[in-house]
Amino acid sequence: MIEILNVNKSFKNTDVLTDVNLTIQDNEVFGLVGPSGVGKSTLLNCLIGLEKYQSGSICIDGVRLEELNELKIRKFRKNMGMIFQNFSLIGRKDIFHNISLPMECWNYSKTDIKNRVEELAELIGIQDKLKNRPSELSGGQKQRVAIARALTMNPRYLLCDECTSSLDPKSTSSILELLKSLQEQFQITIIVVTHEMAVVQNLCNKMAILESGKVSLSGDVQEIFKEKPEQLRTLLGEDERMVSITLDVAELAKVKEYLDTQGTNYKITGGY
């Protein structure tokens, strides 16, 4: 369980997080949403001990992060897997060695590493790519590799920072399905930072909205989307886009079906 209590974080004179309070229970898939620059990634970095906060407390499974020294933070971080929008893979290493990186840092034996990497590659569906370089993989496959690497140390938490933002819709849904099945299989608590509302609706059961460094709303995803409070409407409004395309009736039906599966709000205007 993660308890964030009155956390304040600033960079020089700029306040980024102000009195942030949040509780994330075990096994939740928790969406942290809000416009760009509002402090979502900074909060994730505080959770994994990469950023220090000026005041308040972050308590993870009973351990107060602000009380840990650098070595203890490093060990503690084994509990936290992290994946990013840009995948953060190492181009000159093959997929096997990208996945094995955390285990190599912790000096695991070659046999343990081989067994674990092969097990994860099979679980994630990239067993035929272990000898390839990242540049030979699609975006969705690269994110699968990053997920496998994040899972090597058997973390209790998986932190996802805009992990589908650079993927096409098909890869996005396959990564969301993978995350859902990993959560069910291994009871990992997942925290998802995103500006994509469809991702929250599709994947998360709890959510919090950050506005100007403060939590403006938190609660159950289904209830929040049903009640559509102002904080959510403001965010959804930001998602509005005007797209002009010419489609025949069959194509239009397919697009509508896809938008419905994504939980996207849309309005169709124009000639039929």
State the minimum distance, in angstroms, from the CB of residue 103 to ligand ADP: 29
Q: Tell me the window of 32-40, 81-89, 92-100, 168-176 that interacts with ligand ADP (CB under 6 A).
A: 32-40
Instruction: Please identify, using beta-carbon distances, which residue of 44 and 121 lies nearer to ligand ADP.
Output: 44
Q: Which residue has the tokens 């395309």?
A: 245
CA separation, residue 184 to residues 28, 151, 187 (Å): 10, 14, 5
CB 184 within 8 A of CB 177: no
CB 51 within 8 A of CB 17: no
Side-chain-side CA neighbours of 162 within 13 Å: the count stands at 14
d(CA 139, CA 172): 10
CA separation, residue 52 to residues 16, 35, 246 (Å): 12, 23, 51
Give the three-class secondary structure for 157. Answer: strand
11 binds ligand ADP (CB under 6 A): yes
Instruction: Please identify, using beta-carbon distances, which residue of 31 and 102 lies nearer to ligand ADP.
Output: 31
d(CA 6, CA 9): 10
Instruction: Please identify, using beta-carbon distances, which residue of 37 and 169 lies nearer to ligand ADP.
Output: 37
CA separation, residue 163 to residues 78, 139, 166 (Å): 20, 11, 8
Report 194-223 residues binding ligand ADP (CB under 6 A): none
For residue 22, report the phi and psi dihedrals to the nearest 5 degrees: -155, 145
Give the three-class secondary structure for 173. Answer: helix
State the minimum distance, in angstroms, from the CB of residue 3 to ligand ADP: 20
State the minimum distance, in angstroms, from the CB of residue 40 to ligand ADP: 4
Q: Which of 22, 29, 39, 215 binds ligand ADP (CB under 6 A)?
A: 39
Q: Which of 22, 40, 130, 152 binds ligand ADP (CB under 6 A)?
A: 40
Identify any residues that bridge with 83 across adjacent strands, giving them in sequence order. 160
Q: Which of 2, 24, 41, 148 binds ligand ADP (CB under 6 A)?
A: 41
38 binds ligand ADP (CB under 6 A): yes
Q: Tell me the window of 29-37, 109-117, 216-224, 232-240 that interacts with ligand ADP (CB under 6 A).
A: 29-37
CB 126 within 8 A of CB 94: no
Instruction: Please identify, using beta-carbon distances, which residue of 94 and 211 lies nearer to ligand ADP.
Output: 211
Instruction: Please identify, using beta-carbon distances, which residue of 117 and 191 lies nearer to ligand ADP.
Output: 191
272 binds ligand ADP (CB under 6 A): no
d(CA 254, CA 95): 36
Instruction: Please identify, using beta-carbon distances, which residue of 124 and 209 lies nearer to ligand ADP.
Output: 209
Q: Which of 4, 22, 42, 182 binds ligand ADP (CB under 6 A)?
A: 42
State the minimum distance, in angstroms, from the CB of residue 127 to ligand ADP: 34
Q: Which residues bind ligand ADP (CB under 6 A)?
A: 11, 16, 34, 36-42
